[in-house]
């Protein structure tokens, strides 16, 4: 055995161990997996049962022809062989239909994460023929976490690739279909890759179906997040390049480069992880062939969207080479081990913690089976002998992706470990190879492995997937609020609707409006008693000429003594033990307890006659006086309300209020 193979197997074992052990629970930090004990019990029990039953069936099938009919499974899988264009198209269309069903039945065609809302905001801006919109006179009323206010304009911080695709759906007021369609195209592109990555039809078919039907990619594709689009572009780029290797074509090379460029302006980090091994592969190929034409066409294709992004950057952030991410969050948003834009410093230990946490979650969320989801793929990898160039590339790109997010400070969990999403096709392929890998030990182990996969899938379909679908159908209830529909049902028109968010959300918006950058605002918010912060902000708003930092920095001295608010449901608010709240601060806590709503979903309102704004109490008079023809309403949840309700406000009381 070569040194390279020993190292490769060591890496596989290490990653498998990281995916099974709760390293995040052993490393002191703010991240953990409190569900680990329960899931470990399910895995141990499920693995014992599935393995015992599968081994028994494998052994019995050797002695009884009734339990195994050779060729039946292969013929069944052969119907979905991606080498057959009709079969591949059928699976891809079926996958897109499944993802559309998820978008409707599970997510109600609503964005559930602020990232999705801002992506859709960008898409609507582009659909209106603009890159940014005029900012409000007082941005505190409608500012949001991922929105940038700069030079009198308002725009999202995401690269333009995914908003451009969402724009196509937005033109028909149906942006929610774009993610499912991108997921379907990704499945189709994966089938094209499998034609060259795997020679055995049953394995090809299994790898295709696993990507198409696995719950984690289905839920991700049903959302408005940019991960499905990124995977689509990466797989299209790879499929195109594999075609160029077989039969050089300038058009296909141009399309392959264009797809990689689109991935780069959708999720740059993912594109770099897959692009660097691709560049090495291309360099080796070019050195052997000196085929200048396809190489130049691919470079031109990649340059087109990247140059477009540079133009967008120049028109928004003011610098072609400054992405919205970095403009909003500062240079520490980049990869590397350094202080994070907010939260703890990103160190090597924290990188190991987040890497392990992502793999642990992938084990759980990928297939929702009663066994660890990465186990069969890892076993197949450990038993692998020779790999062709396509498989070496896929593994290199997967490794580069893990290294990329090992060096990234943020934990992006939502619907699963979404930063690990591009790994799913690779894991699907090696999972499909699991039965054949065990076949080297005899016919019995091969059959047992096939039964093992089937039983695990049965457990996922019967229990795991329905449970997860039910959970995902109820998450983020406040984000599912349809403001336009609720206003129409309440008979509200031509109005200002003040949305009562938590006190903490109001404090952050006021910090941003005073020109405090997002990282500094997060630090102040998390490191200063909320009542003292409220008072300091009121003083700064009354005397705008004085440095806000000069007012706030002395208050950081007590940060080590702070605790989560013992009074408000919003425990992100901070309290200094022994301090006394003013009447104003007690009112804000009472508001929190009475019930709040979220401003974010209202950002996507299509009602031109309604202005949704954050409730800023006495500051509301600005909007009321500026729009005297509109009535005023308060949107908040009452103690017994499951959804926010509208309450008509008295104009006189609002203008005269000092709260």
**What is the reported pLDDT for 659?**
45
**What is the reported pLDDT for 143?**
93
Rounded Cα gap, residues 526 and 564, in angstroms: 9
The arithmetic mean of pLDDT across residues 188-212, rounded, is: 96
**What is the reported pLDDT for 479?**
93
Rounded Cα gap, residues 460 and 466, in angstroms: 8
Residues 14-30: tens digit of each pLDDT: 999 999 999 988 988 77
The arithmetic mean of pLDDT across residues 423-444, rounded, is: 94
Q: Residues 6 or more apart from 122 whose CB is under 8 A from it?
A: 155, 156, 158, 160, 163, 166
Please report the sign of the dihedral spanned by the C-alpha atoms of residue 521, residue 522, residue 528, residue 531: positive
Residue 475 has pLDDT above 60, yes or no: yes
DSSP H or E segment with residue 646: strand 645-648
SS3 label, residue 370: coil
Residues 86-108: tens digit of each pLDDT: 999 999 999 999 999 999 999 99
**What is the reported pLDDT for 113?**
94
**What is the reported pLDDT for 616?**
94
DSSP annotation of 614 reads E
Residues 398-416: tens digit of each pLDDT: 999 999 999 999 998 999 9
DSSP annotation of 171 reads T
Average pLDDT, the chain: 92
Q: What is the pTM of this model?
A: 0.93
Measured at the CA of 393, the angle between CA 390 and CA 399, to 5 degrees, comes to 145
The arithmetic mean of pLDDT across residues 518-534, rounded, is: 94
- SS3 per-residue string spanning 440-509: HHCHHHHHHHHHHHHHHHHHHHHHHHHHHHHHHCCCCHHHHCCHHHHHHHCCCCCEEEEECCCHHHHHHH
Residues 262-300: tens digit of each pLDDT: 999 999 999 999 999 999 999 998 888 888 899 999 999
**What is the reported pLDDT for 529?**
95
What does DSSP say about strands 610-614 and 495-499: parallel, antiparallel, or unpaired? parallel
Residue 658 has pLDDT above 50, yes or no: no
Residues 252-263: tens digit of each pLDDT: 999 999 999 999
Measured at the CA of 30, the angle between CA 359 and CA 480, to 5 degrees, comes to 75
User: For the ranges 48-62, 111-125, 205-219, 305-319, which has the lowest average pLDDT?
Assistant: 48-62
DSSP annotation of 368 reads -
Provide, rounded to the nearest whole percent, the portion of the chain with pLDDT above 90.
82
Measured at the CA of 514, the angle between CA 525 and CA 121, to 5 degrees, comes to 85
Residue 77 has pLDDT above 90, yes or no: no
Rounded Cα gap, residues 217 and 214, in angstroms: 6
Smallest CA-to-CA distance from 362 within 434, 423, 412, 408 is with 423
The arithmetic mean of pLDDT across residues 598-612, rounded, is: 94
Per-residue CA distances from 531 to 85, 97, 342, 543 (Å): 65, 51, 21, 19
Alpha helical stretches, state H, 330-440: 348-365, 375-382, 389-406, 424-432, 434-438
Please report the sign of the dihedral spanned by the C-alpha atoms of residue 148, residue 154, residue 159, residue 165: positive
Per-residue CA distances from 382 to 11, 180, 400 (Å): 10, 34, 19
Per-residue CA distances from 311 to 305, 318, 325, 646 (Å): 10, 10, 16, 43
**What is the reported pLDDT for 344?**
86
Residue 421 has pLDDT above 90, yes or no: yes
């Amino acid at each position: 055995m070569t040194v390279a193979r020993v190292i490769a197997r060591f890496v596989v074992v290490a990653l498998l161990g990281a995916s099974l052990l709760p390293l995040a629970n052993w490393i002191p930090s703010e991240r953990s997996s409190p569900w680990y004990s329960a899931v470990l019990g399910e895995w141990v029990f499920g693995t014992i049962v599935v393995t015992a039953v599968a081994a028994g069936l494998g052994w019995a099938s050797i002695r009884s022809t009734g339990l195994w009919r050779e060729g039946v499974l292969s013929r069944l899988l052969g119907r979905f062989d991606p080498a057959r264009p009709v079969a591949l198209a059928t699976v891809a269309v079926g996958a897109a239909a499944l993802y559309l069903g998820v978008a409707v039945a599970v997510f109600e065609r609503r964005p559930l994460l602020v990232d999705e809302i801002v992506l859709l905001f960008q898409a609507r801006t582009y659909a209106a023929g603009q890159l940014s919109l005029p900012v409000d006179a007082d941005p505190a009323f409608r500012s949001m976490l991922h929105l940038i206010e700069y030079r009198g304009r308002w725009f999202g911080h995401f690269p333009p690739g995914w908003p451009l695709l969402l724009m196509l759906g937005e033109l028909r007021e149906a942006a929610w279909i774009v993610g499912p369609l991108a997921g379907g195209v990704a499945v189709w592109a994966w089938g094209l890759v499998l034609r060259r990555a795997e020679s055995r039809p049953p394995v090809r078919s299994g790898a295709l179906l696993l990507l198409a039907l696995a719950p984690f990619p289905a839920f991700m594709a049903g959302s408005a997040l940019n991960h499905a689009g990124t995977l689509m572009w990466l797989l299209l780029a790879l499929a195109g390049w594999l075609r160029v290797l077989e039969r050089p074509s300038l058009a296909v090379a141009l399309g392959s480069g264009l797809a990689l460029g689109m991935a780069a302006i959708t999720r740059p980090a993912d594109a770099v992880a897959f692009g660097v091994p691709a560049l090495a592969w291309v360099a080796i190929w070019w050195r052997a062939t000196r085929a200048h034409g396809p190489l130049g066409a691919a470079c031109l294709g990649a340059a087109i969207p990247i140059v477009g992004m540079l133009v967008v950057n120049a028109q928004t952030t003011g610098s072609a080479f400054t992405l919205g991410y970095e403009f909003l969050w500062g240079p520490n948003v980049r990869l590397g081990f350094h202080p994070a834009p907010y939260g703890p410093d990103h160190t090597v230990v924290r990188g190991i913690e987040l890497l392990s946490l992502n793999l642990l979650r992938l084990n759980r969320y990928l297939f929702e089976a009663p066994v660890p989801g990465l186990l069969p793929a890892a076993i197949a990898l450990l038993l692998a002998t020779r790999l062709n160039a396509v498989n070496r590339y896929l593994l290199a790109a997967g490794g580069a992706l893990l290294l990329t997010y090992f060096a990234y400070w943020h934990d992006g969990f939502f619907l699963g470990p979404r930063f690990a999403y591009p790994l799913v096709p690779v894991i699907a392929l090696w999972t499909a190879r699991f039965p054949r890998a065990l076949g080297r030990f005899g016919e019995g182990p091969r059959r047992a492995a096939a039964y093992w996969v089937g039983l695990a899938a049965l457990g996922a379909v019967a229990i795991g997937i329905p449970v997860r679908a039910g959970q995902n159908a109820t998450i983020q209830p406040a984000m599912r609020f349809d403001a336009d529909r609720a206003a129409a049902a309440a008979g509200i028109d031509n109005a200002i609707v003040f949305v009562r968010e938590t006190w903490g959300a109001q404090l952050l918006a006021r910090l941003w409006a005073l020109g405090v950058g997002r990282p500094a605002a997060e630090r102040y918010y998390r490191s200063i008693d909320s009542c003292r912060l409220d008072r300091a902000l009121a003083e700064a708003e009354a005397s705008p000429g004085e440095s806000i930092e000069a007012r706030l920095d002395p208050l950081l001295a007590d940060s080590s003594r702070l605790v989560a608010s013992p009074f408000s449901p919003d425990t992100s608010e901070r309290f200094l033990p022994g301090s006394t709240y003013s009447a104003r601060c007690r009112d804000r806590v009472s508001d929190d307890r009475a019930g709040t709503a979220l401003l974010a979903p209202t950002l996507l309102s299509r009602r031109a006659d309604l202005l949704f704004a954050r409730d800023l109490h006495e500051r509301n008079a600005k909007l009321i006086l500026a729009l005297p023809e509109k009535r005023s309403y308060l949107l908040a949840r009452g103690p017994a309300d499951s959804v926010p309700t509208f309450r008509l406000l008295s104009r006189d009381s609002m203008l005269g209020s000092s709260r």
